[in-house]
Amino acid sequence: MLLLRRHRPFVSPLAAFFGGQGPVDVGEGERSGQTWLCITYLDHAGSALFPESLLKAFTDDLRNNVYGNPHSQNISSKLTYDTIEHVRYRILQHFHTTAEDYTIIFTSGCTAALKLIAESFPWIPEGTKQPSSRFCYLTDSHTSVVGMRGITASMNVLSVPIEPKEILLAKSRLPAEEQNCTTPHLFSYPAQSNFSGTKYPLSWIQDIKSGKLCPIKIPGKWFVLLDAASYVSSSPLDLGVHQADFIPISFYKIFGFPTGLGALLVNNRIAPLLRKTYFGGGTAAAYLAGEDFYFPRKSIAERFEDGTVSFLDIIALKHGFDVLEKLTGGMEKIKQHTFALAHYTYTVLSNLKYANGAPVVRIYSDTDFSNPDVQGPIINFNVLDENGEVLGFSQVDSMASLHNIHVRTGCFCNTGACQMHLGISNEDIQKNLQAGHVCGDNIDLIDGRPTGSVRISFGYMSTFEDAQTFLNFIIATRLSKSDAGIPCQSVTEPMTESVPDDHLSFNSADKLSQMLQISDGELRNIPSEADTTGRWQPLEPEAESIRAAVSETAVPTCRKGGKPITIARIYLYPIKSCSAFEVTEWPVGNQGLLYDRNWMVVNQNGVCMTQKQEPRLCLVNPSIDLKHKIMVIQAEGMDPISVPLEDNTGKKAVICESKVCSHRVKTYDCGERIAGWLSTFLGRPCRLIRQSSDVESKSHQKNTKGMLFLQHKHLVLKEPLEIEELIRRFRANIVINAPESFEEEEWVEISIGALQFQVVGPCSRCQIICIDQQSGERNKEILQSLSAARGRKTNFGIYLMNQPLHSSFSDTLSVGSQVLPVLKENTEIQPPTSREEKCSG
């Protein structure tokens, strides 16, 4: 087994790698946010991290200057215009070229730049007297490049995908008479694969433009689009030598800030050929509103930059370049620094073995990480078990999050490379879609085969400690003390049901009722928890008739000597991700358990907070008092506080839309008093919001998804936990006594009294189960142990959807009620296909 030891400054090992030249070290002060949060950030290919000094320089600039709209003629606007022009020159200088050769067109990002190229390239469509154009692209390309074919198709221009091996074989020149053809063709390829980090030869640019390389054998003149977004984040690009015709980039890949700003560098030799139909503000030299007359501005940049550019973000770029040079010494040093980290990590990863000699990871790479000119600082891999089976990337991501390690998973918007490296066929992609898998979701294995992988990437802010932390994480989670097995814990009893906290029973509302005011002094006289349930009583005549009808059609599934399945406990979670409230019976309506997950805590930006971001939420204890119509919230060291159960928005209420688990819901703020209480306890600004009460505005939201899971005797844990602790961690609504382990995975639907639930699919557990619900501390072993127990899966339970009966009453769930599962032959239960069904927080 390969062991790692902590080094002091990482200058020593990396300096040795480069013959004594020290690596980049930006200093702890520049990484203050990352250091304070104890995060190991390994997604620099997704976005760089900005240094503190960049923000300071930018905000100081804004405080000391007034920047107006650059289209105006006043003094502040002239300052803006001149500064933007200075930034254009600075960008050209960074890429070792001048305004004589290239023009900078600011865009919203690399994707917008690619779209601009597709729309304005001088294509010759099929069906004309001239030979038609072709758009060719390397299959190892970003989605935004492949998506250009949608525009070319609308222009009747054919697109041709080219595999990397094909371009290497395309070295024969066209006959001389065909080389004189002027039909324009466009070939696009990435300077660096965002999937594997492979660097494709920049020499292809001149070879293709000169005719030495032909992507396809067709008469015409080839132009080259070099997708440099991934490459320029960690490597120098010299456009004085490698003169591509189009170079799209995104600046957040380089600096981390600003976001939403990119540029298209256009070779001035092709710029006059570009076509443009739409004209926006600032692009016209003259036009008529009443007649079809328009004359564009002479400047290519002004002609293509529709409307007012994002001028403050552009000004921030100046400080980005200044700080980057000051902290690192330039892109060549960044290239060497980031590659050294990748080389070291690759070397260790590729040598990790299980006791039986099987590799711990499978690395997807076209190189051996021996040369920074052909390999970037990206490592793409999947983790394997000792039998060589792939562990799902979602599980690896969850475990990494427990160690505060941030990675990227999936196919990284590069389906072509993903297919090539993982052996996924075109038919597999279509079958996976039919199975519910879409780009960016958490479905990582289908029929035991991976749908994606894990990617780590380094940037100039990365340190040797980052690499070591990641490697120690892999070793700790895969190469434990013994590969022989983990001591078994016997868990024999209950089974539970819950609505996952990441899926609030929120629904839209327009009408809000008055809030009931009760002072905090009254809280001390409130009855105990068992009394506060209010003993809800349904309308008996109607209830009994429906119960009888349901009981006649549902047949109990009895096993193990005919023992019935019964409800052992009932829990609800009034505030998402906060503590459970146990009851012996509780009303159920169309939305599930009454008041379950009706409230949630949000940060200062209005974004929902869960235990994943703030584990101390589990120490907030809400309880519902139906008699007094209040929710009482308690926490250690804090005086109790109450929130009315009745809506109290009135005319002054602000209804806002919030996003919970990809669903848009209407909510309202619960006021300054509870906001201050929560902010004090959690030590960060936050507020309490509640779903508005109008449930009729969107009828399709009336069914609430829940979750049912068993406490199985076969659950394996390194550190045995009591049944009570397991129940708290898995955050269920209903705990059920059942005779057999995992039998719920064969259920199609269940009935409990007059209530019916449809089984939606298995519950794949996230890292919240690793949080001790009584202390807020994390135990990183729980999720890994669950995976080992379930054979590389983290499924534990099933999701249910309430099927409300067409009646006017609300039924109840009670401890002791019988559960009647229904089995169907040859019926597959599909897994959840969206992220909101992933977490029980």
pLDDT 10s digits, 607-620: 788 888 888 998 99
Do 755 and 628 share a structural domain?
Answer: yes
Do 535 and 498 share a structural domain?
Answer: yes
Q: CB count, 10 Å around CB of 217? A: 11
Average pLDDT over residues 696-702: 39
Position 282 pLDDT exceeds 80: yes
Position 716 pLDDT exceeds 90: no
Position 572 pLDDT exceeds 70: yes
632 in any annotated domain: yes
Rounded-to-integer distance, Cα 840 and Cα 762, Å = 12
> So what's the pLDDT on residue 524?
35
Answer with the residue of higher pLDDT: 480 or 312: 312
> So what's the pLDDT on residue 776?
78
Rank 24-33, 405-414, 492-501 by mean pLDDT and report only the highest: 405-414
Comparing 101-110, 341-350, 594-603, 733-742, the range with the smallest average pLDDT is 733-742
Position 84 pLDDT exceeds 60: yes
Strands 408-410 and 453-457: antiparallel
Q: Which band of pLDDT confidence, cut at 50, 70 and 90, is reported for residue 469?
A: very high
Cα separations in angstroms, 436 against 137, 258, 451, 790, 795 = 29, 35, 12, 22, 17
- Give SS3 for 179: helix
Q: What domain range is 186 assigned to?
A: 62-277+310-323
Comparing 91-95, 765-769, 806-810, the range with the smallest average pLDDT is 806-810
Do 208 and 160 share a structural domain?
Answer: yes
Do 135 and 165 share a structural domain?
Answer: yes
296 in any annotated domain: no
Token digits of residue 750: 């269940």
> So what's the pLDDT on residue 109?
96
Do 371 and 448 share a structural domain?
Answer: yes
> So what's the pLDDT on residue 805?
62
Q: CB count, 10 Å around CB of 595? A: 23
Segments of 515-672 assigned E as strands = 565-572, 581-583, 585-589, 592-593, 599-603, 621-625, 630-634, 641-644, 655-660, 663-669
Rounded-to-integer distance, Cα 279 and Cα 291, Å = 15
Answer with the residue of higher pLDDT: 492 or 132: 132
> So what's the pLDDT on residue 275?
95
Q: Which band of pLDDT confidence, cut at 50, 70 and 90, is reported for residue 43?
A: very high
Mutual angle of helices 331-351 and 311-328, in 10-degree steps: 70
Comparing 280-284, 512-516, 674-678, 705-709, the range with the smallest average pLDDT is 512-516
- CATH number for the domain spanning 130: value is 3.40.640.10
Nearest CA among 624, 595, 596, 607 for reference residue 687 = 607
> So what's the pLDDT on residue 817?
87
Answer with the residue of higher pLDDT: 480 or 600: 600
Comparing 206-215, 298-307, 827-836, the range with the smallest average pLDDT is 827-836
Position 235 pLDDT exceeds 80: yes
Enter the DSSP assignment of 460.
Answer: T
Do 344 and 240 share a structural domain?
Answer: no
Residue recorded with tokens 């397991």: 726
Do 440 and 539 share a structural domain?
Answer: no
> So what's the pLDDT on residue 769?
75
- Give the list of residues 6+ apart from residue 556 with CB closer than 8 angstroms, or none: 564, 565, 818, 820, 821
Average pLDDT over residues 488-510: 35
Average pLDDT over residues 18-35: 60
> So what's the pLDDT on residue 421?
97
7 in any annotated domain: no
172-183, pLDDT tens digit by residue? 666 666 667 899
> So what's the pLDDT on residue 828?
42
How buried is residue 324: exposed, middle or buried, by Cβ count under 10 Å (0-12/13-18/19+)?
buried
> So what's the pLDDT on residue 724?
77
Average pLDDT over residues 459-476: 95
Q: Which band of pLDDT confidence, cut at 50, 70 and 90, is reported for residue 813?
A: confident
Nearest CA among 421, 401, 576, 613 for reference residue 502 = 576
Do 188 and 159 share a structural domain?
Answer: yes
Q: Which band of pLDDT confidence, cut at 50, 70 and 90, is reported for residue 717?
A: low
> So what's the pLDDT on residue 729?
80
Do 510 and 400 share a structural domain?
Answer: no
Rounded-to-integer distance, Cα 207 and Cα 212, Å = 5
End-to-end CA distance of the chain: 36
Domain boundary among 478, 505, 531: 478
Do 243 and 352 share a structural domain?
Answer: no
70 in any annotated domain: yes
542 in any annotated domain: yes
Task: From the candidates 110, 214, 413, 608, give the one annotated as an active-site residue.
Answer: 413
Token digits of residue 461: 């802010």
> So what's the pLDDT on residue 74?
92
β-pair partners for 643: 631
Rounded-to-integer distance, Cα 40 and Cα 403, Å = 8
Domain boundary among 445, 478, 511: 478
Active-site residue flag, 413:
yes
598-617 burial, b if ≥16 CB within 10 A, otherwise e?
bbbbbeeeeebbbbbebbbb
Position 708 pLDDT exceeds 80: no
Rounded-to-integer distance, Cα 5 and Cα 178, Å = 62
Q: Which band of pLDDT confidence, cut at 50, 70 and 90, is reported for residue 243?
A: very high
> So what's the pLDDT on residue 536?
37
Answer with the residue of higher pLDDT: 598 or 661: 598
Position 490 pLDDT exceeds 90: no
CB 352 within 8 A of CB 360: yes
338-352, pLDDT tens digit by residue? 999 999 999 999 999
Position 431 pLDDT exceeds 70: yes
Give me the chain's average pLDDT, please.
80
Position 50 pLDDT exceeds 90: yes
- Give SS3 for 162: strand
> So what's the pLDDT on residue 163?
94
Q: Which band of pLDDT confidence, cut at 50, 70 and 90, is reported for residue 722?
A: confident
666 in any annotated domain: yes
Q: Which band of pLDDT confidence, cut at 50, 70 and 90, is reported for residue 67?
A: very high
Rounded-to-integer distance, Cα 349 and Cα 361, Å = 7
Sign of CA dihedral 732, 734, 736, 741: negative
CB 372 within 8 A of CB 197: no
- Give the list of residues 6+ apart from residue 61 with CB closer than 8 angstroms, or none: 315, 319
Position 28 pLDDT exceeds 80: no
CB 438 within 8 A of CB 835: no
> So what's the pLDDT on residue 715?
52
Answer with the residue of higher pLDDT: 402 or 235: 235
Structural domain count of the chain: 3
Do 628 and 517 share a structural domain?
Answer: yes
Q: What are phi and psi of 316, to 5 degrees?
A: -65, -30
Average pLDDT over residues 85-104: 96
> So what's the pLDDT on residue 778?
76
432-443, pLDDT tens digit by residue? 999 899 998 889
DSSP string covering 404-437: TEE-EEE-TT-HHHHHHHHT--HHHHHHHHHTT-
> So what's the pLDDT on residue 741?
72
Residue recorded with tokens 């050769």: 101
273 in any annotated domain: yes
Do 813 and 727 share a structural domain?
Answer: yes
3 in any annotated domain: no
Answer with the residue of higher pLDDT: 440 or 555: 440
> So what's the pLDDT on residue 35?
59
> So what's the pLDDT on residue 1?
34
Rounded to the nearest angstrom, the gap between the alpha carbon of residue 797 and the centroid of all alpha carbons in its chain is 24
Q: What are phi and psi of 663, to 5 degrees?
A: -105, 135
- CATH number for the domain spanning 359: value is 3.90.1150.10
Please give the model's pTM, rounded to 2 decimal places: 0.73
6-33 burial, b if ≥16 CB within 10 A, otherwise e?
eeeebeebbeebeeeeebbbbeeebbee
